[in-house]
Amino acid sequence: MFRILQFNMQFGMGWDAKAPDSGPIDIKATVGEIRRHKPDIVLLQEVEHAQIGGVQVDPPPNYSRMKEALPEFDSWFSYPKADPRELPFGIGLAIFSRTPLIEKLRIDVPSPAIEFVFRGRKTTPTDRVMIGAKTLVNGREIQIYNVHLLAFFMLGMSSTMFPWQRDLVADRLDASDLPTILGGDFNVSQDDPIVEQFAEHGYATVQHKVPTWRRQAFVLDHIFYNTRLRCVRHYVENSTVSDHLPLVADFDLADGAP
């Protein structure tokens, strides 16, 4: 059995309901939250705080601190494509694994040119990114993906109107013949369509009943898995180290999985 922790860490900003956009930044608390769940694989979104003008600090400071604090994990990180339109929210994905990560990859996930106004300025969304890697669990190779999709609902739209981000992810799932995990922040206010779409490709989510976002009662975060894996148990943790709640799931390899 192995454990997956899916967590949008909001660049280490703790949750304060009275001041949701100005909570304390505490990477030590983020690391503590990770350790508390004793995961084998960790999928993180919004690792870094996006900078004005889309500047990407290298090496990424939060990731670097976490990597140093979690020496028993192999890991890797990727920013999305640099873009001066980037808004000052969370950015960047990371995977941490107790077993070595191999065949690391990143895939650009384009966003549509939907105009919206932010702080009095008209702009359009920046592209997103999907990362992946393989690792061995109990001597068996598994495929891991991590993604953070555009929040269409915050633009008054829906991903069903602009499905190509979801379709790109589904195509990548189709390409895998290994036991496969897909975690991430899918940013859908109504998650039934994406759950149904990925089910058509042979993937189930561990849960889509308990909200994973404190700002609104939406299930934004998921761990999807294919039929070569069996979900043994799962839970959503009532944590205050981010505006997202950690999602944890334990898996076994299904009988007959290669």
pLDDT per residue over 199-253, tens digit each? Answer: 999 999 999 999 999 999 999 999 999 999 999 999 999 999 999 999 999 999 9
Name the pLDDT band for 256 (thresholds 50, 70, 90): low
pLDDT at 157: 87
Indicate yes or no: pTM above 0.85. Answer: yes
Could you give the number of structural domains in the chain? 1
Examine residue 54 and state whether it is found in any structural domain, yes or no.
Answer: yes
Residues 217, 211 contacting (CB under 8 angstroms): yes
From the list 112, 131, 134, 133, the residue with the least C-alpha distance to 123 is 112
Range of the domain at 243: 2-253
pLDDT digits (tens, 9 = 90+) for 80-94: 999 999 999 999 999
Query: Over 70: is that where the pLDDT of 7 sits?
Result: yes
Q: Rounded distance, CA 119 to CA 179, Å?
A: 44
85 is a domain residue: yes
Overall residue count recorded for the chain in this entry:
258
Quote the tokens at residue 65. Answer: 């601190």
CATH number for 99 = 3.60.10.10
Give a yes or no: residue 258 inside a domain: no
What b/e string do you get for 115-149 counting C-beta neighbours within 10 Å, with b at 16 or more?
Answer: eeeeeeeeeebbebbbbbbbbebeeeebbbbbbbb
| pLDDT, tens only, 35-75 | 999 999 999 999 999 998 999 999 999 999 999 999 999 99
Asked whether residue 16 is domain-assigned, the answer is yes
Min mean pLDDT across 101-105, 110-114, 146-150, 155-159 is at: 155-159
pLDDT of residue 228: 96
Residue 201 within any structural domain of the chain: yes
Q: Can you give the pLDDT at residue 120?
A: 85
Side by side, the strands of the sheet bearing 221-226 are 102-109, 128-137, 140-148, 180-185, 221-226, 203-205
- Average pLDDT over all residues of the chain: 95
Interatomic CA distance for residues 205 and 253, integer angstroms: 16
Instruction: Please report whether residue 104 resides in a domain.
Output: yes
pLDDT, one tens digit per residue, over 16-29 is 999 998 888 999 99
Is residue 257 predicted with pLDDT exceeding 70?
no
